[in-house]
Structure 1
């Protein structure tokens, strides 16, 4: 969000993901990226496609990040 309260979208990381796309592996990669940028307690929203492994990772992400507004993650086909 900028000084005018406009929400900005950014890609923080683009990684080759050779592991199986399980919820545990997705969570592990996101946890590493959040730690690199020191943003694990600053997450407001994350967008996913509706793949089952993505949606299965959400409870662990909510527990890790303790996001504002109780973790309103929106899952949308992108």
Structure 2
């Protein structure tokens, strides 16, 4: 899903979202074009050997920002 220029909400302005799930309970997606500055190994050390370079995290949101999909 690609946000239109008219969408001014800072959570979704100019983002590309990969929708993983959408149903009557809500939606789940990953923002693809805003990698986090923190590396995945710093956030989840046990994943360090599974991360492809450069190993940055991609965020969803603005709900459940403390969750990780692996």
TM-score for both structures, normalised by structure 2: 0.24
Structure with larger RCO (C-alpha < 8 A, sep 6+): 1
Q: Where is the helix percentage greater, Structure 1 or Structure 2?
A: 1
Q: Where is the strand percentage greater, Structure 1 or Structure 2?
A: 2
TM-score for both structures, normalised by structure 1: 0.23
